[in-house]
Amino acid sequence: MPKVRTIDLIEKFNLELVSGEEGVNRPISMSDISRPGIELAGFFAYYPAERIQILGKTELSFFEKLPQDEKEIRMEKLCTDITPAIIISRDLEVPEELIIASERESVPVLKSPVKTTRLSSRLTNFLESKLAPTTAVHGVLVDIYGVGVLIIGKSGVGKSETALELVKRGHRLVADDCVEIRQEDQDTLVGNAPELIEHLLEIRGLGIINVMTLFGAGAVRSNKRITLVISLELWDQNKQYDRLGLEEEKMKIIDTNLTKYTIPVRPGRNLAVIIEVAAMNYRLKRMGLNAAEQFSNRLTSAIEYSDQEEL
């Protein structure tokens, strides 16, 4: 099932359909946009026909200087059976040769009043968002002091209860139980809730609650960039847990490595406060303030000073 079709662009950007109506359901598989200037000059050896084509003032001004027979040939080659759409920017007049060729191959020809560069930028941003690699993770996503924290762990470990406590402390819920994640850039992961369970939180023994209804619109948000992963696991007395924080564990989601903290769960531990502090400490580390490294350096200096005193 294609994620984006030409009809989606028409509706999203309010584009005018000029010709090629039969092709409005063509799938769009690439976020790259093409301005076929060199193709209009006659070089089609590397023509990216699967991309959306944009014709602006430069391309059409050159096209008008071509002989009539060349105009027809160029437009016939421009319209292929896999071209999603050809968009004319700046509300420029659509060449008759393009209309004829597009009707023959059912390639939608669209018009927009927006300038070429701005239109290309808007289309690229929209398509990159829609065509980005996606996955789903079982967990809870919360916005804590501007840090997108993905809380994961086995079922029943207390993820939703911790999220509820965080919401009561003024933070914002993004998704509970299932987090849909898309990679919008090389190192940018954005998470959101499936539409069916948006703003909902499941608390065992209580059932489903609507966070926005109970706590207000300020307690939720629709999506958030994920920068930190908190893994909750039941306390294992035989396991050695990190007590200094000098080494950062990583978790890979799609193609992005995220910082991961493993927090053991046992009675008496306030998980919401611990996760809140973890988010603040993560921000401090990104600002260059690492308490664990400072302590390690002070300890090393103290040991070296002690050795010198003995000598």
Catalytic member of 71, 74, 159, 224? 159
Residue 104 is a catalytic residue: no
- Determine whether the annotation assigns residue 34 to a binding site: no
The DSSP letter of residue 241 is P
Catalytic member of 138, 169, 250, 269? 138
How does 189-226 read in b/e, with b if 16+ C-beta sit within 10 Å?
bbbbbeeeebbbbbeeeeeebebeeebeeebbbebbeb
- Phi and psi angles of residue 262, each rounded to the nearest 5 degrees, phi first: -105, 120
Token output for 111: 């018009």
- Determine whether the annotation assigns residue 4 to a binding site: no
Residue 32 is a catalytic residue: no
> Is residue 167 a contact partner of residue 200, using CB atoms and an 8 Å limit?
no
The DSSP letter of residue 220 is B
> Is residue 132 a contact partner of residue 184, using CB atoms and an 8 Å limit?
yes
Q: At 142, which helix (H) or strand (E)? A: strand 140-144
- Determine whether the annotation assigns residue 202 to a binding site: yes
- Determine whether the annotation assigns residue 155 to a binding site: yes
- CA 160: distance to chain centroid? 24
Residue 159 is a catalytic residue: yes
- Determine whether the annotation assigns residue 148 to a binding site: no
- Determine whether the annotation assigns residue 20 to a binding site: no
Catalytic member of 65, 239, 243, 252? 243
d(CA 292, CA 280): 14
Token output for 246: 């000098």
Amino acid at 203: I
- Cross-sheet strand order for the sheet of 140-144: 172-175, 140-144, 147-153, 228-234, 256-265, 249-253
Catalytic member of 111, 177, 225, 260? 177
d(CA 93, CA 181): 42
- Determine whether the annotation assigns residue 260 to a binding site: no
Q: Which sequence positions are flagged as catalytic?
A: 138, 159, 177, 243
Q: Point out the annotated binding site for Mg(2+).
A: 160, 202
Q: Which residues participate in the annotated binding site for ATP?
A: 153-160
Q: Which residues sit in the known binding site?
A: 153-160, 202
